[in-house]
Amino acid sequence: IKHLQQLQHKNIIKLKEIVISDQQSWKNVKKIENCLFLVFEYCAHDLNDLFVLECSLNHEQVKSIMKQILEAVEFIHEKGCIH
């Protein structure tokens, strides 16, 4: 989680907040106690949406997406993170 907070890159979704709940917060829901919630910035779409919607991408779009992914992977590798 500490690494996620430190990763600041245009192609990596940002971790905004960490919320730790206790049993008191969830007294009406018996199955939830002592939970950790990671709150990320809003992202309207992700790669999964493209696959689920079966969007037809042209060569330039695929090239752009791959470039963004590889830039993000390079960045996290430079920071010593593995995925």
* 36-57: pLDDT as tens digits: 889 999 988 888 887 777 677 8
| Residues facing 40 on adjacent strands | 15
Q: What is the pLDDT of residue 25?
A: 57
Report whether 33 contacts 26 (CB < 8 A): yes
Task: Determine the pLDDT at residue 31.
Answer: 63
Return the beta strands (E) in the chain as ranges.
Answer: 15-20, 36-40
Name the 3-class secondary structure at 24: helix
First vs last C-alpha separation in the chain = 13
What is residue 44's predicted lDDT score, i.e. its pLDDT? 85
Q: Kindly state the average pLDDT of the residues 10-19.
A: 91
Number of other residues whose CB lies within 10 A of the CB of residue 2: 6
